[in-house]
Amino acid sequence: MNLPRTPSFRLDGRRALVTGAGRGIGLACAAALAEIGAEVTLAARTAGEIKAAADAIRATGGDAEVAVLDVADFAAVEAFFAAQPAFDVLVNSAGINRPKPMWEASELDYDAVLGLNLKSAFFVAQGCAKRMIAEGSKGSLIHMSSQMGHVGGPNRALYCASKWGLEGMSKSFALDLAPHGIRSNTIAPTFIETPLTKPMFEDAAFKASVLAKIKLGRIGQVEDLMGAIQFLASDASAFMTGTSLVVDAGWTAD
């Protein structure tokens, strides 16, 4: 009897790009992809953090390069992809949050959050996909969304708008790109402890309010997302597109 075999989680010989890769979730995504054999390019606006991250990945036997790239500079994004062979995997991880009540949000806040979380994600994905189509290569686009792309949250009007938009955008990408063998999905985490969010949890009342909704009873760690990244990047998820992998410890189940 010939038993079915699990599609490979390996990415040997494939190129992956991770934006916002210098720390936190982006760094974890880059490390996860390097672990399964991808040639990872870490992209961010400043060289220091991504150089240190790439050095750490190489020290563990991984393959990593750096690209100083401001994803909000669309001319630079276009030039970057024009100068590169096609990537097989994109992780759109650059993002920002400015939590405040909706009546306090300014136009500058709106432009900052929607500009990076949604507009930049669109044009990075577009640049990556155009290069893939031009070279006839297949692959996986992964966009770092949030549970706040599926529910609302107090003081999160701008963030929710950006992540709900990202969810819809990814679904449309999936439909446009399916004929080219390019998949588009999101990962939607709950609160994850990172250098940016850790100070928030020093507020005991805020931490308690978060833990009251996280059914598994703990704040997420970046390691909790690494398996999801490996899955969506690899052939193990070859039949998944246009959907969201919600990694929220039960938040949205209630």
Please name which of 189, 152, 149 lies closest in space to residue 169, comparing C-alpha atoms. 149
β-bridge mates for residue 68, sequence order: 44
Calpha distance 85→66 (Å, rounded)? 15
φ and ψ at residue 150, rounded to 5 degrees: -125, -20
Distance CA(179)–CA(212), nearest Å, equals: 43
Catalytic residue check, 110: no
Triad 23, 30, 216: Cα angle to 5°: 75
Q: Is 179 helix (H, G, I), strand (E, B) or coil?
A: helix
- How crowded is residue 60: how many other Cβ atoms within 10 Å of its Cβ? 10
Given the residues 80, 81, 87, 159, select the one marked as catalytic.
Answer: 159
- Work out the angle at residue 221's Cα, subtended by the Cα atoms of residues 217 and 227, and round it to the nearest 5 degrees: 110
Catalytic residues: 159
